[in-house]
Structures are given as C-alpha cells and as structure tokens.
Amino acid sequence: MGGYSFHTDNVRICVIMVGLPARGKSLIAQKIVRYLSWLSINAKCFNVGNYRRQEMAHPTADFFDAGNPEGERLRKIAAEAAIGDMFRWFEHEAGVVGILDATNTTRKRRDWILEICRARSVEPMFVESWCDDEDLIMHNIMDVKTTSPDYVGQDPEQAALDFRNRIRNYEKVYETITEPELTYVKLINVGSQVIINRIQSYLESRIVYYLMNLHIKPRCIWLSRHGESEFNLLGRIGGDSDISARGQEYSRQLPRLVKQSVGDRELTVWTSTLKRTAQTAKYLPYRQLTWKALDELDAGECDGMTYAEIEERFPEDYAARDNNKYEYRYRGGESYRDVVTRLEPIIMELERQENILIVTHQAVLRCIYAYFMNVRQDQSPWMEVPLHTLIKLEPKAYGTEVTRISADIPAVSTYREKGQSSRKK
C-alpha cells in the first residue's frame, strides 16, 4: 500500500564498518539500521564488541595491542561469533542488510570477511569512517567513557586515558581502504568529503545517499505536537482548526520550556502548513521554516469526522484500520506508510542539521519518533504522544536518550488503544 517497494528477495548485503575507535562507527551503524528498518527493510547490527564482552568485559588497552596473542585470539573468536550469527540471521530470518560493527582496521581482517561473504553469496560493502578532526574525536572519547559498556563503573578520567591508549594500539596497524575492486564508501570527517567506489545495487545506492547526509556532531532534536485544537475538543480528526484556549496557553509557555532545555544553543523551528502548528510556534524566538511534508496524515473522506462517525459510516474501514493501522489508507487519503514516504526528505534534512524543534501532528510525530527510537513500524501508529509535552531526543553511539517535559497544562487525550471503542480517539 504505497511507500517504497524494494525488490530484496535475492539481495543480501553485509555492511562492514571500518575505522579507528572514536570515529563514530557504532553511531553510523545504528543509524543505517534505523533508516532501513524505518523503510521496512530487514536490517540488523552485529556489534563484535558485544560478543567480545562475553569473554572479556572490561579489557585494558593492552588487550587491543596487535602484539598481544591472547587478545588477538579472543577478538577473532568474537568476530567469528558475530559473523556466524549474522549469517544465521540471513538464512533463517530473511535478513537483507546485516551490519558488522567492528574496527576491521587491517587488510588481512577485511580479506577474511570478504572470503566468508563471497562463499555465502552475500554482497560485501565497506563503510569506513576516517577522521582527523580533533574536536570530533575528543567529543567521541568523552561520550564513550561515559556510555561504553567497556567502562561501566570506572573512573571517567582513567577510562578516557585507557581509551586513548586503545586508539594508539589500533593506529599502529590501521590500513585505510584503497583496493579499487572493493565496494566501499569512505566518510572523511563525517560529512566533509565522501569517496564512493563500485556501488553496484539500488539498495547500496540508497545506503550511500543516506550516508552522504549524515554528520555525527553532538546535537538534539525536540518534538512537540501543536497545542490542543478546537477539533481535538470535539474529537474530530484532520481539518485545519485553530488551537483552543488551553492550546494558546501552551503556545505562551512553550518558549520557556524550550529555553530551559535548549539553553544558549542555536535552534531552528519547523512547522507544518496547518495553522494550529503556526499558532503554537507563534512566540518562539527562533528562525522558523514551514514544511508541507509535516502536514498531518490525510484522512481523505474521513477528514473532520469523529471516530464514532467513521465507525458508523465505514464499519469495514474502521475494523481494517484497527487490524493493520500502519498499512491502512483512508479512502482518498493516506496510510502511515504513505506518511513515512513523504517524510523521507525531512529525515534526510534532519540528519544534515544540528538542533531542530519540530512542531507538528500526532501521526507525523509518531513516524519521526519511530525513526529515532528504532520502533517497529507495526507498533509506531499505537505510540502515545500526548499534547502539551516537549520531547527531547539526544542521539548517542549506543542509542537515543529521551526526555519528556510536560507543560502541566490540561488537554484532552487523543490516544485510542487498539480495539478500543470509538467513543475515544
């Protein structure tokens, strides 16, 4: 039902991450998984470090010295376990894009992975993050020392020192990718320059297009629904109604909430073309942009109706939407999948930007939130995104941190559980 149609029946790709520690590889790997999963492509990351931690939970930098045979042996075992699980996933769970998240800094290690991929008829694609931006490296070191499972419970300064020594051990043997016969993308200082070599399939080109829009600088995304609207009070969907008196109060309080969370950082506000989002963002003292792609899901013939009216007039449609809300398309309108399709340029632009506040609508925010939180598409239409709440998303190497800030201004609930009677939305 609309959306992208990728012919992935016979395509299996192993994305092999390459690069020194603190170059954002894990963050990039997680972003690729999120993006492909968001487009309903079966993707999964296999982090070799997670396998290694089963044998060696808190290694020192010496463990990663190429001259340490025991460290080398355990790291090879971890890589074999990750690759083994990846190929079982390809075979038994219809995997399409598996991502091997590790340093893979030597040609010898990469050749070994290549041989395995070719023997299993899986397309190998290397993604190398090459970085000499000291500010970015230092930020990643500071991030890793506080979020990496390798340094849980350790003194932060000792963790940072040990991590720098680990990087030096890898630098001794690091060989950047230069082989002309390989399929690879080399990201230089993530976003400054991109080198592309022998991209051969449509799906590989989609991954490349996504990677070309990435940066891994620290930033936050803030999300807010518009203030309570007159249609919300009436239980009607869609439309272009004004915000209610309580919605206006939220509009006046929003600058304070945003300032407390954003601080002195620069911020750009994005709204839809519908007046309830513009009215909500009215008092925000930041640059504002309007996006048609952020308009609410089009309810077609049901626009302006209550759920009770929809159930009475179109009972089969009402039941079908409950059964598969992500794929169901309103008569003459849209499905959640359609919304994801039109939001892809928004996601690409979000990845290019730094600090953004999006003031938009329930269905649209569910789709954007699902992207950042890697929520399954069949679950995304059922997520609760309350009115008069500011949501802060902070992407990190090992996941996205979420903070919800309530304005403590009453509003109707527009949330309706699956199978719930049409008396509530």
**Residues forming the active site:** 101, 226, 296
Integer CA distances (angstroms), 26 to 40, 101, 242, in order: 21, 6, 44
Q: Which helix (H) or strand (E) holds 51?
A: helix 48-52
Residue among 300, 301, 307 at smallest CA distance from 234:
307
Q: Is residue 280 within 8 Å of 250, Cβ to Cβ?
A: yes
With residue 1 as reference, give the H or E element that holds it.
Answer: none
Residue 64 has what DSSP assignment?
G
How far separated are the first and last CA of the chain, in Å rounded? 24
Q: Which residues contact 257 (CB under 8 A, 6 or more apart)?
A: 390, 405, 407
Strand 97-101 to 389-396 pairing:
unpaired
In 43-170, the DSSP E strands lie at 43-47, 97-101, 123-130
Query: Rounded to 10 degrees, what is the CA torsion of 293, 295, 298, 303?
Result: -160
| Residue keyed to tokens 């990663």 | 64
Q: How far apart are CA 178 and CA 186, in angstroms?
A: 10
Question: CA-to-CA distance for 316 and 323, rounded, in angstroms?
Answer: 11
Residue closest to 294 by CA, chosen among 357, 377, 216, 200: 357
Strand partners, 123: 13
- Contacts of 167-174 with C-beta under 8 Å, sequence gap 24+, read 167/20, 167/21, 167/22, 168/61, 169/61, 169/62, 169/64, 169/65, 169/66, 170/20, 170/21, 170/64, 170/103, 170/105, 171/20, 172/66, 173/66, 173/105, 173/106, 174/20, 174/105, 174/106
Rounded to 10 degrees, the C-alpha dihedral 20/23/24/25 comes to -30
Question: Cα dihedral angle (78, 46, 179, 13), rounded to 10 degrees?
Answer: 140
- Residue 389, CB half-sphere, CA atoms under 13 Å: how many? 18
